[in-house]
Amino acid sequence: MSSSEIMIGLNQKALSLLQEDADQIEKLIQIQMETLTNRRCPLYEEVLDTQMYGLSREIDFAVRAGLLAEPAGKQILSELERKLAQLYEALALSKKE
């Protein structure tokens, strides 16, 4: 294997692992969206915030290590942030009802 093939393999592995972590966070958001039973639960919000922060640090590391292109990392985070915003919007609407 050439060094470029090794680097491509590492890049793909890093992206795959980061996407798995993002998928786990997305599942947490989706479960909350489906139930909307824990209206503005501080503990649940803390878990999501902690998970998002951890993922952002993982992505930052991967970018700095040259394992992930910065735009790819930003895309992963922005998709999750959009879904999280939808959750908080839905929670706010359910609270008004």
Give residue 37's pLDDT.
58
Listed by start position, the domains of the chain span 3-96
> Would you say 77 and 25 are in contact if contact means Cβ atoms under 8 Å apart?
no
The CATH architecture assigned to 3-96 reads Orthogonal Bundle (1.10)
Residue pLDDT, tens place only, 64-73: 999 999 999 9
Per residue, the 3-state secondary structure of 5-28, as one string, reads HHHHHHHHHHHHHHHHHHHHHHHH
Does this model's pTM top 0.85? My answer is no
